[in-house]
Structures are given as structure tokens and as C-alpha cells.
Amino acid sequence: MSEDRVRELVGSDGALRGVQMEIRPPHELVVTVKERVPIAAVKRGEKYALVDNEGQTLREVDSAQQAGVPIVQVEDENLSQSAAFRIISNVLVTLPTSLLAEVSEVKADSTSSITLILKDKVTVLWGTSQENEVKAKVLTKLLEATRSEDSQSSGAQGQGKKISVYDVSSPLLPVTR
């Protein structure tokens, strides 16, 4: 079987990042398919386009809830050329799955002003897309600590003031408000 025939059988689906073949004589052909994975959704008209980290549209869904990934707000329609989308995708691919599942929306007013909105409407001031791993760890620890405090003080009156903003733009000096 030729490489061309395998590519023809697999197709040129936009959801595929690539196809690799390895021939192991005398009777084996190993085909490895690399799939594109949606990391964000972008509102386009009445629908939401699910896109991968390169800005490639994979499919469309009718609602933000169906998207199952954060909604991204960027001005540039051509995501693959958008500096704002590139920095947002750098942040999103760095987030651990548990934290990514909590993000409902991401905005980038500039390349140094990334903001995450969590599903509980809490705002995370991320800043630049530098030190993403450190910021993700710091935010995870802050969320764990403050949620633990909230659950412990929920019975006491007047305590447990809800945090509405986490600022991890300087991850070694995070701030909550």
C-alpha cells in the first residue's frame, strides 16, 4: 500500500493535524493519526467555532454550553495570524485540565493584558503569557486555599468574604480582592 493510498483512505479532514506511516516489512503498516484538539471557541454570528491552538476551525456548535471549552474574545477574524489569539492559546495549553475546566471565557485587551473569567464569574488577571506554568500553579493553590477557607467559614456570620479577583500577573506576589 502506498503513502498516497493511505492518505486517500484517511482523508484530508481538517480535524487531523497529520498522518504518519511506518512500514514494518514484511506485513505490517503502522498509521499514526494526530488529531487536532479544540482548546477554545470563538463566536461567529449565531454559532461558536471550536478552534485548536493554531486557530484552525474544527467544527461549529450552537451554544457556548455545547462548546465545552473557554470562549475567546479576539478582534482579529484570522485567528492563525492573530497575536492576541496566539498568546491566549499559549496560556490555555499550559493550564492543567482541572483549571481549564473552570475557565469560561478569555480576553486579551493587549498582548500584556490577558484576563480569564471562571465559571463562577471570578476574574483572573493573568497579565502576559510569560511564566504560564508558574501562574497556573499559583492560581491552582490560591483557588484551593480560598475555597477551603470559604467552606470552613461558611457557617460563621460576617466571615468568608468572597474573592472576586485573583491577580497572578506577578506570580511570586499574587493578589486577591
pLDDT in tens, 10-28: 766 667 777 788 889 998 9
Query: What Cα–Cα distance (Å) separates residue 53 from each residue in 6, 73, 141, 146, 176?
Result: 26, 14, 26, 31, 29
pLDDT band at 118 (very low <50, low <70, confident <90, very high): very high
Containing structural domain, residue 72: 13-151+162-176
The answer, as to whether pTM is greater than 0.85, is no
The pLDDT of residue 158: 47
Average pLDDT, the chain: 88
Q: Does residue 117 form part of some domain?
A: yes
Within a domain: residue 6?
no
Between strands 47-51 and 40-44, the pairing is: antiparallel
End-to-end CA distance of the chain: 63
**Residue 55 maps to a domain:** yes
CA distances from 69 to 7, 59, 155 (A): 30, 13, 34
Find the CATH number of the domain harbouring 70. 3.40.50.11690
How much is the CA Rg of the chain, to the nearest whole Å?
Answer: 21
* Per-residue pLDDT tens over the stretch 132-150: 999 999 999 999 998 887 7
Q: How far apart are CA 136 and CA 126, in angstroms?
A: 9
pLDDT, position 107: 94
- The stretch 76-100 carries a mean pLDDT of 91
Give the model's pLDDT for residue 147.
84
Give the integer Cα–Cα distance in Å for 71 and 73: 7
